Structure 1
Amino acid sequence: MPMQPWFTDAKLGIFLHYGIYAVDGVAESWSFYDGQLSREEYLRQLNGFTASRYDPRAWAELFARAGARYAVLTARHHDGVALWDTEQGDLNVAKHTPAGRDLLAGYADALRERGLGVGLYYSHSDWNHPDYASVVHPRPTKEDVTTHPLVAPEGGVEDPAAWERFVAYRDAQVGELVERYRPDLLWFDGEWERSEEQWRMRELSEKILAAAPDTVLNARMLSYGDYATPEQGVPLLAPDGPWELCLTVNDSWGFQHRDHNQKSVRLLVRYFTETIGMGGNLLLAVGPREDGTIPAEQVERLEGLGDWIGRHSEAVYGTVAGLPAGHHYGPSTLAADGRTLYLVCFDVPRESVGVRGLRTPVKRVSVLGTGAELPHRTVGGLEEVPGVLWIDAPRAEDVDEQATVLAVELEGELDLYRGVGRD
C-alpha cells in the first residue's frame, strides 16, 4: 500500500505519554519492570489519576499553534492500563481511576475539529496481563526477553493456550481502537519481545486494513509497517522510505516532576530542521500531568517552535529533503517542484553563505520571513564542474533568533553536481 501523503507532508507531530505513571512522576511502565518500585506500588497510582483538568480541545489548539499536523496518544502502554473503557480485561482508567471515563473519544474528536491527524499508540506487550509471560522469543535480541518474569514463562516452560488468549485480547483491543476512534495512524511498540510470527503481524495488519484501509502503521509492526521510527537522535543517514524522529522535549517521555532539562526552542528548531531536511517528520514528545495539563515549560517550547515554523512555513510544508551533506553547512529543504531551495543557517552568517555543486542558475535569493533580497554570485568552476554559489550575509535585522532561512529561487529544477572534480 502506498504511504498516505498526509503523513509525509505533516512534518511535525506531537507525542503524548499520558497515563497513571504521571501521578508519582515515574517512568512509564519501565519503573516497575526495572524494579524501581513494585507492581503493587505502580498500580496504586490508579487511585490518584483524576484527569480533572483534561481538555483535549486545549491540547488540539496548542498542537495547531505549534505547527503540528498530527498527534499520537498512548492508548495503552506496556503497563496494560487502557485510556478507554475496553471490553477486554479490566485494567482501564474508566473503571479503576477517579477519572472514571473514556479519554480517547474527546481526544480524537478535538484533533479532527482542528484538522489534525489522529494517532494512537498501542503496545503489543502487556506486563500486567496474566497470559503474557507464556512463550519465549525464538530469536531474541535482548537477553531479558528470555529471563524477565514479566515477559518469559518460569523455567522457559511455554503455555501455547495462554499465548493464544493473549493474542486474542491484543487483537480485540486494537479492533476497539480502530472501530471506535478511526485513527489515521496506529503507533505500535513493544515488538522486540516476540517474533513477527508470534505476534501474528500479518494477520493483525490485515484486520486493521480491512476495517480501515487508509490507516498508517509504524515500523514496530515489523514487516507490515509503513515508516521507520528512530528515537532521540537524528540519524546520520536517512532511513529508506518515510520516517519519523521521536524526540522528547526534556529527557522523559511522560511527566516526571524532577526532570527540568527542557530543550531550548533554538535546539528544537535545530532538531526539527535537520529532520525535515533529511525527509523525515519530527514526533515531539511532551508529558501531561495526571490532571491532563501540559507543563508550562513544555507549552512554551511548543509555542516557540510554532512561532518559528509560522515565520518559515514556506520552507516546511510542501517540501522534500534538501541538499545532501557537504553542499551547504546546515540542513535544507526543497520545494516540491524542485525550483526553490531553502537553506537553514543556525549561526549568524558572516560575510557569505556558500552552496557547492549547484548546476542550476540562480534567479533570486531572499531571507524568508523578511523578504530581504541578498546579492549572490558564482565563483570559479569549469564546464563540467560548477563553481561555488556565494550569497552575501543578511543584515543583522534580517537574522532570525532561532535559525535564519535563505530562499534560493532557481531558473529551473534543481540539478546537482556530485562528482570528484577534474582529474
Structure 2
Amino acid sequence: MKVKTTLLAALMLVSANLFAQQANTPESTYEPTPENLEARKHFADSRFGIFLHWGIYSMFAQGEWYLNTGNLNKDEYAKAASGFYPIRFDADKWVKAFKDAGARYITFTTRHHDGFSMYHTAEGKYNIVDATPFERDVLKELTDACHREGIDVHLYYSILDWIRPDYPIGRTGRNTGRTLKPDYPSYFGFMERQLNELLTGYGDVKAIWLDGYWDHDEDSIPFDWHMPDLYRYVHSIKPECLIGNNHHIYPLVGEDFQMFERDLPGENKSGLSGQDISLLPLEMCETMNGMWGYKVSDTNYKSASQLIQMIVRSAAKGSNLLLNIGPQPNGELPEQSLDRLKSIGQWMRHNGSTIYGTQAGSIAEQPWGVSTDKADTTFVHVLSKVDNEISFPLAAKPRNVLAFEKRTKLPFKYDKKNALLTIKLNVPEGVTDYIIRIEK
C-alpha cells in the first residue's frame, strides 16, 4: 500500500530507453471475453472480501513497510526469514473464519514491496519454502482451503521491489543497501514468470491485485511500466482472470475492476482515491485498525458496528469492501480481528440479502443512511438515530414498505406531486442498521 513521503523524486534516466521499440506504440484496445464479463458480474455480486497482508515483516510487528520506514539494510532485514516459523498457521481455520463472516473471497499478498515471496517460487530462494525453517507453501494451503470451501481466490502482487537490483528505483526503497543495476526488461520478465506461477499453480485464481504503480508517479521523465503488455500476458494465460491496479488514477486499458484505497468511491478523505468512477466493478479496501501488516502497538480497531456500516455504505456505492487483516508472525489471526469477523458474520447471516448481488442505491445518500437495490426492491439502510419518520424522493408510489427484520408493514404516505415518500418508523437505540424493504 502507498505511504505518503516527502522524498524528492529520483531522475530515472535509465527508463527513457526501456522497451524503446514499443515506447511510442498506441495503447491497444481491450475486448474482454464473455467469461471475463461473467467473472466481473460474479465479483460485483460478492460485495465482501478479506484482504491479508502477511510476510516476514510481521516478525518485526511494525507493519508491512518496515524495511522502508525503519531505514533497514535489506540483508539485515532478510535475516528475519531464518526465524519465520508460523507454527499456529491453520489455513482451514482461517478460511472457516472468513466464510462464517460472510466473505465471498480473499486477496492474499503473494509478494509485497520487500520482495519476499509468500509462496514457493522458482525465481530465487527468497521465499517462504526455501528461506524459512517453516518450509511450507502457505499460499498453496490457503488456496486449497478456499477452493474446498467455495471462497474465491484473488492474489495481491507488488510490481515494485525494494531489494532486486534490476528494479528501476522510484520514490521509495532507496536506502536498503542494494546494488543498483536498473534493467526493467529483466525485471518485467521476472514479474511475468512469477505471475505465470501464480496463475497456473494455485487452482482457480479469480483476480490479480497489483500495487506499486505510484512508485514512479513523481519521476521527472515519465516511466513506462508497460502495463498493457503485462495485462495481455495475464489474460493470455487466463482470459477470465480479473486485473485491478492500485494506482490511484482512472483505470487503464486492460483492467477489469477499479479499486479505491481507504475511501468509498467518490470520496477522497485519504488523498489516495480522487479518481473519477468508471463503469467497471468497484472495490474499496480498508483496514480494521490502522495498519495493513501486523503492528503490535496498533490496537485501535474499528468497532463491529463501524465495519458493518462500512460494508453497507460500500454496497450503496455499488462497490465491494475488501477488509484487511494483518496476521501475526505465529500464524494466528489477531483476536480483535476474529471478534469483529464473528459479529459481521452474525449480521450478514440475517441481512446479507440486502448486500450480496445488489446495485448502488437508487435513493440518494441521506444524513441518516443509504440504500441498495436488487431487481424491483430497494433496501433503505437507516444507520443513525432518527425521529419518528424519514422522507426522501421516490419516483413512484411503492407497492409495499416493510420493516426488513420482522417483515411487518410500515405506515407511509406518498406525495405524488412532489414525488416524496415519508415513512413512519421507530428505530431502537443502538441499532447498527435498521433496514426497510421497499417493493416498487
Question: Within 2, Cα distance between the matches of 1:318 and 1:170?
Answer: 34
Q: Using a 3 Å threshold, how does the CA distance of structure 1 residues 103 and 152 change in structure 2: closer, same or farther?
A: closer
- 219-228 or 9-18, which deviates more: 219-228
Asked if residue 249 in structure 1 is aligned to residue 280 in structure 2, the reply is: no
1:352 equivalent in structure 2: 389
Q: Give the TM-score normalised by the residue count of structure 1.
A: 0.85
Q: 2:160 aligns with which of 125, 128, 133?
A: 125
How far 1:401 moved relative to its partner? 2.8
* Cα contact 2:40–2:257 (8 A) shared by 1: no
Cα deviation 1:63-117 (Å, max 9, x = unaligned):
1111111000100001110011111122101011122121111111111111111
Partner of 2:144, secondary structure, is helix
Q: 1:22, 1:406 → 2: CA distance?
A: 43
Among 391, 409, 413, the residue aligned to 2:439: 409
Quote the Cα distance in structure 1 between the aligned partners of 2:362 and 2:369. 9
Would you say the 8 A contact 2:159–2:212 is kept in 1?
A: yes
2-structure distance, mates of 1:245, 1:256: 22
Give the RMSD, CA atoms, in angstroms. 2.4
Q: What amino acid sits opposite 2:422 in the alignment?
A: W
Corresponding residue SS for 1:79: coil
Which of the residues 180, 184, 187 maps onto 2:201?
180
- In 1: Cα distance, 2:71 partner to 2:364 partner: 43
Pairwise CA distance, 1:197? 7.1
State the secondary structure of the residue aligned to 2:422.
strand
Q: CA deviation at 1:332?
A: 0.6
Distance between the aligned counterparts of 1:326 and 1:6, measured in 2? 25
SS where residue 230 of structure 1 aligns?
strand
Q: Residue 208 of structure 1 corresponds to which residue in structure 2?
A: 234
User: Could you tell me whether the CA contact under 8 Å between 2:368 and 2:386 is conserved in 1?
Assistant: no
CA distance in 2, matches of 1:266, 1:327: 19
Aligned partner of 1:226 among 237, 256, 265: 256
- Gap regions ≥5 residues in structure 1: 137-143, 411-423
Matched-pair contact (CA < 8 Å) for 1:133–1:149: no
CA offsets per residue over residues 186-213 of structure 1, 9 Å max, x none? 1111112358974332222222112111
Partner residue, 1:341: 378
TM-score with structure 2 length normalisation? Answer: 0.82
How far, CA to CA, are the matches of 2:413 and 2:321 in structure 1?
34
Residue 273 of structure 1 and its aligned partner are, at CA, apart by 0.9
> What is the CA–CA distance in structure 1 between the aligned matches of 2:365 and 2:56, rounded to whole Å?
46
Matched, 1:15 2:55: no
CA distance in 1, matches of 2:261, 2:331: 24
Q: CA deviation at 1:224?
A: 2.3
Does the C-alpha gap of structure 1 residues 152 and 19 become closer, same or farther in structure 2, counting only changes over 3 Å?
closer
- Report SS of the residue matched to 2:308: helix
Aligned pair partner of 2:398 in 352, 362, 365: 362
Task: Tell whether the 8 Å contact from 2:368 to 2:384 is kept in structure 1 after alignment.
Answer: no
Residues 328, 341 of structure 1: CA spacing in aligned structure 2 closer, same or farther, 3 A cutoff? farther
Question: Residues 239-270 of structure 1: CA distance to partner in whole angstroms, max 9, x if unpaired?
Answer: 22221111000001011111000000111112
Map residues 21-420 of structure 1 onto 2, 5 A cutoff.
Answer: 21-28=57-64, 30-133=65-168, 144=171, 148=174, 162-181=183-202, 182-194=204-216, 198-220=224-246, 222-236=252-266, 239-241=277-279, 242-325=281-364, 329-335=368-374, 337=375, 339-356=376-393, 358-379=394-415, 381-382=416-417, 385-386=418-419, 388-394=420-426, 396=428, 401-410=431-440
The 1-side partners of 2:317 and 2:185 are apart by 41
Letter matched to residue 185 of structure 1: A
- The 1:343–1:150 alpha-carbon spacing in structure 2 relative to 1, beyond 3 Å, is same
CA distance in 2, matches of 1:148, 1:37: 11
Could you tell me which amino acid in structure 2 is paired with residue 390 of structure 1? T
Alpha carbons 2:71, 2:176 under 8 Å: kept: no
Q: Which moved more, 1:214-223 or 1:190-199?
A: 190-199
Contact between 2:105 and 2:152, CA under 8 Å: does it hold in 1?
yes
CA distance in structure 2 between the partners assigned to 1:197 and 1:133 by the alignment: 9
Question: Contact 1:368 / 1:406 at 8 angstroms: preserved in 2?
Answer: yes
| Alpha-carbon distance in structure 2 between the residues aligned to 1:255 and 1:177 | 24
Q: Identify unmatched segments of 5+ residues in structure 2.
A: 1-31, 268-275
| Helix, strand or coil at the partner of 2:129 | helix
d(CA) in 1 for partners of 2:90 and 2:80? 21
- Tell me the distance in 2 between the aligned counterparts of 1:227 and 1:62: 26
Q: 1:82 touches 1:92 (CA, 8 Å); kept in 2? A: yes
